[in-house]
Structure 1
Amino acid sequence: MTLLSVRKIYQGIAGRRQMFRMFDRHAQRPNCWEGDDSPLYRGEWFEISEAELDYMFEILPPLWMRGEMFAMREFLTGSITSIFFTLKIDGRMRYFHGYCDLLDKGSPERLRNVIVERETRPVRAMTREERLEHIWSSTHDDYRGYAGERWPERDRGKRTVMFYGGRRGTTLKLLDALTDVEIAAKLPVHLRYLPEAIAA
Protein backbone atom coordinates (compact mmCIF):
# COMPACT_ATOMS: atom_id res chain seq x y z
CA MET A 1 0.00 0.00 0.00
CA THR A 2 1.39 3.40 -0.97
CA LEU A 3 0.35 6.47 1.01
CA LEU A 4 1.22 10.13 0.71
CA SER A 5 4.16 11.11 2.89
CA VAL A 6 2.26 13.68 5.01
CA ARG A 7 -1.51 13.46 5.21
CA LYS A 8 -4.44 14.68 7.27
CA ILE A 9 -6.43 11.57 8.08
CA TYR A 10 -9.54 12.92 9.82
CA GLN A 11 -11.65 16.06 9.45
CA GLY A 12 -12.82 17.68 12.67
CA ILE A 13 -11.67 17.15 16.25
CA ALA A 14 -11.26 13.52 17.30
CA GLY A 15 -12.66 12.53 20.68
CA ARG A 16 -10.87 9.98 22.85
CA ARG A 17 -12.47 6.89 21.34
CA GLN A 18 -11.81 8.05 17.76
CA MET A 19 -8.27 9.12 18.69
CA PHE A 20 -7.40 5.65 19.98
CA ARG A 21 -8.94 4.03 16.90
CA MET A 22 -6.76 6.18 14.65
CA PHE A 23 -3.56 5.48 16.56
CA ASP A 24 -3.47 2.15 14.71
CA ARG A 25 -5.94 2.45 11.87
CA HIS A 26 -3.86 -0.03 9.86
CA ALA A 27 -4.21 -2.86 12.40
CA GLN A 28 -6.08 -5.13 9.96
CA ARG A 29 -3.45 -4.94 7.22
CA PRO A 30 -2.22 -8.21 5.75
CA ASN A 31 1.11 -9.55 7.07
CA CYS A 32 0.87 -7.21 10.05
CA TRP A 33 4.31 -6.42 11.53
CA GLU A 34 6.19 -8.74 9.13
CA GLY A 35 8.00 -5.94 7.30
CA ASP A 36 8.85 -2.28 7.78
CA ASP A 37 5.47 -0.68 8.49
CA SER A 38 6.93 2.80 9.04
CA PRO A 39 5.63 4.25 5.73
CA LEU A 40 2.04 3.41 6.74
CA TYR A 41 2.21 5.71 9.75
CA ARG A 42 4.88 8.31 8.99
CA GLY A 43 3.28 11.72 8.43
CA GLU A 44 -0.29 10.86 9.47
CA TRP A 45 -1.89 13.62 11.54
CA PHE A 46 -5.26 14.75 12.91
CA GLU A 47 -6.74 17.25 15.34
CA ILE A 48 -7.62 16.40 18.94
CA SER A 49 -9.01 18.36 21.88
CA GLU A 50 -7.01 19.88 24.73
CA ALA A 51 -8.41 17.22 27.08
CA GLU A 52 -7.03 14.42 24.87
CA LEU A 53 -3.62 16.12 24.66
CA ASP A 54 -3.50 16.49 28.45
CA TYR A 55 -4.55 12.85 28.87
CA MET A 56 -1.72 11.64 26.61
CA PHE A 57 0.80 13.91 28.34
CA GLU A 58 -0.03 12.36 31.72
CA ILE A 59 0.22 8.70 30.58
CA LEU A 60 4.03 8.58 30.61
CA PRO A 61 6.77 11.17 30.95
CA PRO A 62 7.45 12.43 27.41
CA LEU A 63 10.55 11.29 25.56
CA TRP A 64 11.26 15.00 24.97
CA MET A 65 9.51 18.38 24.97
CA ARG A 66 10.27 21.28 22.61
CA GLY A 67 8.20 24.42 22.96
CA GLU A 68 4.80 23.57 21.50
CA MET A 69 5.38 19.83 21.04
CA PHE A 70 6.26 16.65 22.92
CA ALA A 71 7.10 13.10 21.86
CA MET A 72 5.72 9.90 23.36
CA ARG A 73 8.26 7.62 25.00
CA GLU A 74 6.77 4.48 23.43
CA PHE A 75 7.46 3.84 19.74
CA LEU A 76 4.76 2.46 17.46
CA THR A 77 7.13 0.76 15.03
CA GLY A 78 10.83 1.20 14.43
CA SER A 79 11.65 4.86 15.02
CA ILE A 80 8.03 6.08 14.53
CA THR A 81 6.40 7.68 17.56
CA SER A 82 3.55 10.03 18.41
CA ILE A 83 4.20 13.76 18.48
CA PHE A 84 1.61 16.02 20.12
CA PHE A 85 1.36 19.68 19.15
CA THR A 86 -0.18 22.76 20.80
CA LEU A 87 -0.39 25.38 18.04
CA LYS A 88 -1.84 28.86 17.88
CA ILE A 89 -3.65 29.08 14.53
CA ASP A 90 -5.66 32.15 13.56
CA GLY A 91 -5.52 33.41 17.16
CA ARG A 92 -6.87 30.17 18.66
CA MET A 93 -5.06 27.34 20.46
CA ARG A 94 -5.49 24.00 18.71
CA TYR A 95 -4.11 20.53 19.42
CA PHE A 96 -2.84 17.83 17.06
CA HIS A 97 -1.37 14.33 16.97
CA GLY A 98 1.03 13.15 14.29
CA TYR A 99 3.45 10.30 13.63
CA CYS A 100 7.08 11.20 12.97
CA ASP A 101 10.19 9.18 12.25
CA LEU A 102 12.67 10.38 14.83
CA LEU A 103 15.59 9.12 12.73
CA ASP A 104 14.56 11.76 10.17
CA LYS A 105 16.06 14.86 11.74
CA GLY A 106 13.65 17.79 11.73
CA SER A 107 10.57 15.70 10.90
CA PRO A 108 8.53 17.02 13.89
CA GLU A 109 9.20 20.61 12.83
CA ARG A 110 8.31 19.83 9.20
CA LEU A 111 5.08 18.16 10.28
CA ARG A 112 4.23 21.16 12.47
CA ASN A 113 4.78 23.45 9.46
CA VAL A 114 2.52 21.30 7.25
CA ILE A 115 -0.24 21.35 9.89
CA VAL A 116 -0.06 25.14 10.26
CA GLU A 117 -0.06 25.64 6.47
CA ARG A 118 -3.00 23.26 5.98
CA GLU A 119 -5.08 24.70 8.82
CA THR A 120 -4.61 28.35 7.83
CA ARG A 121 -6.03 27.96 4.33
CA PRO A 122 -8.54 30.77 3.78
CA VAL A 123 -11.26 28.53 2.32
CA ARG A 124 -12.39 25.34 4.03
CA ALA A 125 -11.77 22.64 1.45
CA MET A 126 -10.64 19.02 1.18
CA THR A 127 -8.48 17.18 -1.34
CA ARG A 128 -9.67 13.88 -2.77
CA GLU A 129 -6.98 12.16 -0.69
CA GLU A 130 -8.24 13.82 2.50
CA ARG A 131 -11.77 12.67 1.69
CA LEU A 132 -10.59 9.08 1.23
CA GLU A 133 -8.50 9.17 4.42
CA HIS A 134 -11.47 10.53 6.39
CA ILE A 135 -13.67 7.72 5.05
CA TRP A 136 -11.03 5.14 6.03
CA SER A 137 -10.55 6.64 9.52
CA SER A 138 -14.26 6.93 10.29
CA THR A 139 -15.40 3.55 8.90
CA HIS A 140 -15.85 0.82 11.50
CA ASP A 141 -13.38 -2.07 11.28
CA ASP A 142 -16.22 -4.45 10.31
CA TYR A 143 -16.85 -2.43 7.13
CA ARG A 144 -13.29 -1.85 5.95
CA GLY A 145 -10.38 -4.14 5.17
CA TYR A 146 -7.84 -5.13 2.56
CA ALA A 147 -8.25 -6.84 -0.79
CA GLY A 148 -7.42 -10.52 -0.44
CA GLU A 149 -6.88 -13.50 -2.71
CA ARG A 150 -10.22 -13.24 -4.53
CA TRP A 151 -9.12 -9.88 -5.96
CA PRO A 152 -6.88 -9.54 -9.03
CA GLU A 153 -3.22 -9.74 -8.03
CA ARG A 154 -2.63 -6.04 -8.82
CA ASP A 155 -5.28 -5.06 -6.21
CA ARG A 156 -4.29 -7.40 -3.38
CA GLY A 157 -3.40 -5.57 -0.19
CA LYS A 158 -5.21 -2.37 -1.24
CA ARG A 159 -7.73 -0.87 1.17
CA THR A 160 -11.41 -1.74 0.73
CA VAL A 161 -14.69 -0.39 2.14
CA MET A 162 -18.26 -1.65 2.10
CA PHE A 163 -20.50 0.47 -0.08
CA TYR A 164 -24.30 0.39 -0.16
CA GLY A 165 -25.39 0.70 -3.77
CA GLY A 166 -29.18 0.92 -3.40
CA ARG A 167 -30.86 -1.76 -5.54
CA ARG A 168 -27.50 -3.39 -6.24
CA GLY A 169 -27.07 -4.01 -2.51
CA THR A 170 -23.87 -3.84 -0.52
CA THR A 171 -20.56 -4.39 -2.29
CA LEU A 172 -16.92 -4.30 -1.33
CA LYS A 173 -15.02 -1.61 -3.24
CA LEU A 174 -11.43 -0.47 -3.41
CA LEU A 175 -11.13 2.75 -1.41
CA ASP A 176 -9.02 4.45 -4.08
CA ALA A 177 -11.53 3.48 -6.80
CA LEU A 178 -14.55 5.20 -5.23
CA THR A 179 -16.16 7.69 -7.58
CA ASP A 180 -16.86 11.29 -6.51
CA VAL A 181 -20.54 10.39 -6.04
CA GLU A 182 -19.63 7.37 -3.88
CA ILE A 183 -17.19 9.44 -1.84
CA ALA A 184 -19.89 12.06 -1.20
CA ALA A 185 -22.29 9.31 -0.10
CA LYS A 186 -19.75 7.96 2.43
CA LEU A 187 -18.92 11.38 3.93
CA PRO A 188 -20.96 13.03 6.69
CA VAL A 189 -23.33 15.71 5.36
CA HIS A 190 -21.24 18.65 6.63
CA LEU A 191 -18.25 17.45 4.56
CA ARG A 192 -20.00 16.37 1.35
CA TYR A 193 -20.10 19.65 -0.50
CA LEU A 194 -16.83 21.27 0.53
CA PRO A 195 -14.86 22.54 -2.45
CA GLU A 196 -11.99 20.45 -3.81
CA ALA A 197 -8.65 21.67 -2.49
CA ILE A 198 -5.44 21.41 -4.47
CA ALA A 199 -2.95 19.21 -2.63
CA ALA A 200 0.00 21.18 -1.32
Structure 2
Amino acid sequence: MSDPISIRKIFEGPASRQQMFALFDRHARRPTRGQDEPAALYAGEWFEISEAEHDYMFEILPPLWIRGSMFAMREFMTGSVTSVFFALRIDGALRHFHGYCDLSDHGSVEAMRLAIIDRESRPVRAMTREERLEHIWSSTANAYRGYAGDRWPPALQGERTVMIWSNGKGTILKLLNELTDEEIAAKLPVQFRHLPDTVAA
Protein backbone atom coordinates (compact mmCIF):
# COMPACT_ATOMS: atom_id res chain seq x y z
CA MET A 1 0.00 0.00 0.00
CA SER A 2 1.19 3.57 -0.75
CA ASP A 3 2.12 6.09 1.92
CA PRO A 4 -0.83 7.77 3.69
CA ILE A 5 -2.01 11.01 2.08
CA SER A 6 -1.20 14.24 3.91
CA ILE A 7 -4.39 16.29 4.25
CA ARG A 8 -3.43 19.96 4.08
CA LYS A 9 -5.06 23.37 3.88
CA ILE A 10 -3.61 25.39 0.99
CA PHE A 11 -5.43 28.75 1.18
CA GLU A 12 -6.69 30.88 4.07
CA GLY A 13 -10.21 32.29 3.82
CA PRO A 14 -12.89 31.58 1.22
CA ALA A 15 -11.50 31.60 -2.32
CA SER A 16 -13.20 33.72 -4.98
CA ARG A 17 -14.23 32.05 -8.25
CA GLN A 18 -11.03 33.20 -9.96
CA GLN A 19 -8.92 32.01 -7.04
CA MET A 20 -10.80 28.70 -6.94
CA PHE A 21 -10.02 27.91 -10.57
CA ALA A 22 -6.37 28.86 -10.05
CA LEU A 23 -6.16 26.63 -6.98
CA PHE A 24 -7.61 23.66 -8.86
CA ASP A 25 -4.35 23.35 -10.81
CA ARG A 26 -1.79 25.33 -8.84
CA HIS A 27 0.89 22.78 -9.81
CA ALA A 28 0.33 23.23 -13.56
CA ARG A 29 3.72 24.87 -14.20
CA ARG A 30 5.86 22.24 -12.47
CA PRO A 31 8.86 21.30 -14.64
CA THR A 32 8.08 17.57 -14.44
CA ARG A 33 4.53 17.90 -15.83
CA GLY A 34 3.89 15.06 -18.25
CA GLN A 35 6.73 12.99 -16.83
CA ASP A 36 5.60 12.45 -13.23
CA GLU A 37 2.67 10.88 -11.40
CA PRO A 38 1.06 13.96 -9.80
CA ALA A 39 -1.53 12.24 -7.61
CA ALA A 40 0.47 12.92 -4.43
CA LEU A 41 0.73 16.63 -5.33
CA TYR A 42 -3.04 17.07 -5.45
CA ALA A 43 -4.57 14.41 -3.18
CA GLY A 44 -5.23 15.83 0.29
CA GLU A 45 -5.26 19.52 -0.68
CA TRP A 46 -8.30 21.51 0.47
CA PHE A 47 -9.55 25.07 0.75
CA GLU A 48 -12.72 26.98 1.57
CA ILE A 49 -15.09 28.40 -1.05
CA SER A 50 -18.35 30.34 -0.91
CA GLU A 51 -21.81 28.84 -1.22
CA ALA A 52 -22.12 30.45 -4.67
CA GLU A 53 -18.97 28.70 -5.94
CA HIS A 54 -20.10 25.40 -4.39
CA ASP A 55 -23.46 25.63 -6.17
CA TYR A 56 -21.82 26.75 -9.41
CA MET A 57 -19.61 23.64 -9.45
CA PHE A 58 -22.60 21.41 -8.66
CA GLU A 59 -24.39 22.70 -11.75
CA ILE A 60 -21.47 22.39 -14.23
CA LEU A 61 -21.77 18.63 -14.79
CA PRO A 62 -23.80 15.83 -13.26
CA PRO A 63 -21.78 14.75 -10.19
CA LEU A 64 -20.04 11.39 -10.12
CA TRP A 65 -21.91 10.79 -6.86
CA ILE A 66 -23.78 12.66 -4.12
CA ARG A 67 -23.55 11.56 -0.49
CA GLY A 68 -25.52 13.72 1.89
CA SER A 69 -23.84 17.14 1.88
CA MET A 70 -20.95 16.02 -0.34
CA PHE A 71 -20.56 15.49 -4.07
CA ALA A 72 -17.69 14.42 -6.35
CA MET A 73 -16.81 15.73 -9.78
CA ARG A 74 -17.13 13.33 -12.70
CA GLU A 75 -13.94 14.63 -14.33
CA PHE A 76 -10.80 13.41 -12.55
CA MET A 77 -7.81 15.65 -11.96
CA THR A 78 -5.35 12.80 -12.34
CA GLY A 79 -5.63 9.04 -12.00
CA SER A 80 -8.18 8.34 -9.27
CA VAL A 81 -7.96 11.85 -7.73
CA THR A 82 -10.99 14.08 -8.17
CA SER A 83 -12.65 17.13 -6.66
CA VAL A 84 -15.02 16.56 -3.76
CA PHE A 85 -17.17 19.44 -2.52
CA PHE A 86 -18.38 19.67 1.06
CA ALA A 87 -21.14 21.66 2.75
CA LEU A 88 -20.31 21.39 6.45
CA ARG A 89 -21.91 22.91 9.52
CA ILE A 90 -19.07 24.13 11.74
CA ASP A 91 -19.77 25.99 14.98
CA GLY A 92 -23.35 26.55 13.86
CA ALA A 93 -22.47 28.06 10.46
CA LEU A 94 -22.81 26.31 7.10
CA ARG A 95 -19.49 26.55 5.22
CA HIS A 96 -18.32 25.14 1.90
CA PHE A 97 -15.05 23.49 0.90
CA HIS A 98 -13.24 21.84 -1.99
CA GLY A 99 -10.83 18.95 -1.50
CA TYR A 100 -8.92 16.58 -3.75
CA CYS A 101 -9.60 12.99 -2.72
CA ASP A 102 -8.06 9.80 -4.07
CA LEU A 103 -11.12 7.63 -4.62
CA SER A 104 -8.98 4.48 -4.82
CA ASP A 105 -8.79 4.89 -1.03
CA HIS A 106 -12.35 4.29 0.14
CA GLY A 107 -11.74 6.19 3.38
CA SER A 108 -10.27 9.32 1.77
CA VAL A 109 -13.49 11.35 1.55
CA GLU A 110 -14.47 10.77 5.17
CA ALA A 111 -10.89 11.45 6.29
CA MET A 112 -10.98 14.75 4.40
CA ARG A 113 -14.35 15.70 5.89
CA LEU A 114 -13.18 15.01 9.43
CA ALA A 115 -9.86 16.82 8.90
CA ILE A 116 -11.63 19.96 7.65
CA ILE A 117 -14.06 19.95 10.57
CA ASP A 118 -11.23 19.43 13.05
CA ARG A 119 -9.08 22.18 11.52
CA GLU A 120 -11.87 24.74 11.26
CA SER A 121 -13.40 23.99 14.68
CA ARG A 122 -10.36 25.13 16.65
CA PRO A 123 -11.32 27.95 19.04
CA VAL A 124 -8.50 30.32 18.06
CA ARG A 125 -7.97 31.34 14.46
CA ALA A 126 -4.38 30.44 13.64
CA MET A 127 -2.09 29.19 10.87
CA THR A 128 0.79 26.75 10.89
CA ARG A 129 4.05 27.66 9.17
CA GLU A 130 3.17 25.14 6.44
CA GLU A 131 -0.24 26.78 5.93
CA ARG A 132 1.40 30.20 5.66
CA LEU A 133 3.80 28.90 3.01
CA GLU A 134 1.00 27.18 1.10
CA HIS A 135 -1.09 30.35 1.17
CA ILE A 136 1.85 32.35 -0.17
CA TRP A 137 2.39 29.82 -2.96
CA SER A 138 -1.33 29.68 -3.77
CA SER A 139 -1.78 33.45 -3.89
CA THR A 140 1.44 34.44 -5.70
CA ALA A 141 1.11 35.16 -9.43
CA ASN A 142 2.91 32.82 -11.81
CA ALA A 143 5.31 35.60 -12.78
CA TYR A 144 6.62 35.69 -9.20
CA ARG A 145 6.77 32.00 -8.36
CA GLY A 146 8.39 29.01 -9.99
CA TYR A 147 10.74 26.10 -9.52
CA ALA A 148 14.49 25.95 -8.95
CA GLY A 149 16.21 25.31 -12.26
CA ASP A 150 19.66 24.24 -13.39
CA ARG A 151 21.36 27.23 -11.76
CA TRP A 152 20.55 25.72 -8.38
CA PRO A 153 22.42 22.79 -6.79
CA PRO A 154 21.07 19.47 -8.15
CA ALA A 155 19.54 18.53 -4.78
CA LEU A 156 17.38 21.69 -4.85
CA GLN A 157 16.29 21.62 -8.48
CA GLY A 158 12.52 21.36 -8.79
CA GLU A 159 11.90 22.94 -5.37
CA ARG A 160 9.34 25.76 -5.28
CA THR A 161 10.66 29.33 -5.39
CA VAL A 162 9.16 32.79 -4.88
CA MET A 163 10.35 36.33 -5.56
CA ILE A 164 10.80 38.47 -2.46
CA TRP A 165 11.99 42.00 -1.75
CA SER A 166 15.21 42.16 0.24
CA ASN A 167 16.54 45.43 1.69
CA GLY A 168 19.86 46.15 0.08
CA LYS A 169 19.47 43.42 -2.56
CA GLY A 170 16.21 44.37 -4.24
CA THR A 171 14.10 41.57 -5.68
CA ILE A 172 15.59 38.10 -5.19
CA LEU A 173 14.50 34.53 -5.83
CA LYS A 174 14.32 32.29 -2.78
CA LEU A 175 13.20 28.76 -1.99
CA LEU A 176 9.67 28.83 -0.57
CA ASN A 177 10.50 26.56 2.35
CA GLU A 178 13.51 28.70 3.32
CA LEU A 179 11.58 31.93 3.87
CA THR A 180 12.19 33.46 7.28
CA ASP A 181 9.33 34.41 9.59
CA GLU A 182 9.83 38.05 8.61
CA GLU A 183 9.75 37.23 4.89
CA ILE A 184 6.63 35.12 5.37
CA ALA A 185 4.89 37.97 7.19
CA ALA A 186 5.82 40.39 4.41
CA LYS A 187 4.32 38.08 1.76
CA LEU A 188 1.06 37.43 3.61
CA PRO A 189 -1.99 39.71 3.42
CA VAL A 190 -2.12 42.11 6.37
CA GLN A 191 -5.03 40.30 8.05
CA PHE A 192 -3.01 37.05 8.27
CA ARG A 193 0.37 38.40 9.37
CA HIS A 194 -0.21 38.34 13.11
CA LEU A 195 -2.29 35.19 13.48
CA PRO A 196 -0.78 32.90 16.12
CA ASP A 197 0.84 29.59 15.21
CA THR A 198 -1.66 26.78 15.40
CA VAL A 199 -0.79 23.80 17.58
CA ALA A 200 -1.72 20.19 17.25
CA ALA A 201 -5.24 19.49 18.47
Question: What one-letter code is carried by the residue in structure 1 that aligns with 2:15?
Answer: A
The equivalences for 1:1-150 within 5 A come to: 5-150=6-151
- The residue aligned with 1:181 is 182
Structure 2 distance, partners of 1:58, 1:69, is 14
**Contact 1:127 1:199 (8 Å CA) reproduced:** no
How high is the sequence identity, in percent, across the aligned residues? Answer: 66
TM-score, normalised via structure 1 length: 0.97
User: 1:64: how far off?
Assistant: 0.3
SS in 2 for 1:27: coil
Structure 1 distance, partners of 2:60, 2:168, is 49
- The residue aligned with 1:151 is 152
The C-alpha deviation readout for 1:158-180, integer Å capped at 9, x for no partner, is 00000011321000000000001
Question: What one-letter code is carried by the residue in structure 2 that aligns with 1:137?
Answer: S
SS in 1 for 2:137: helix
Structure 1 distance, partners of 2:105, 2:146, is 30
Question: What one-letter code is carried by the residue in structure 1 that aligns with 2:154?
Answer: E
Question: What one-letter code is carried by the residue in structure 1 that aligns with 2:29?
Answer: Q
Aligned length: 197
Structure 2 distance, partners of 1:190, 1:145, is 25
Structure 2 distance, partners of 1:49, 1:156, is 37
SS in 2 for 1:104: coil
The equivalences for 1:187-198 within 5 A come to: 187-198=188-199
SS in 2 for 1:125: coil
Structure 1 distance, partners of 2:55, 2:193, is 32
SS in 1 for 2:12: strand
Question: What one-letter code is carried by the residue in structure 2 that aligns with 1:174?
Answer: L
SS in 2 for 1:129: helix
Structure 2 distance, partners of 1:33, 1:83, is 24
**Contact 1:148 1:156 (8 Å CA) reproduced:** yes
TM-score, normalised via structure 2 length: 0.96
- Which 4+ residue blocks in structure 1 deviate beyond 6 angstroms? none
User: 1:199: how far off?
Assistant: 4.5
Structure 2 distance, partners of 1:101, 1:199, is 25
Structure 2 distance, partners of 1:5, 1:36, is 16
User: 1:65: how far off?
Assistant: 0.4
The C-alpha deviation readout for 1:131-153, integer Å capped at 9, x for no partner, is 00000000001100000100001
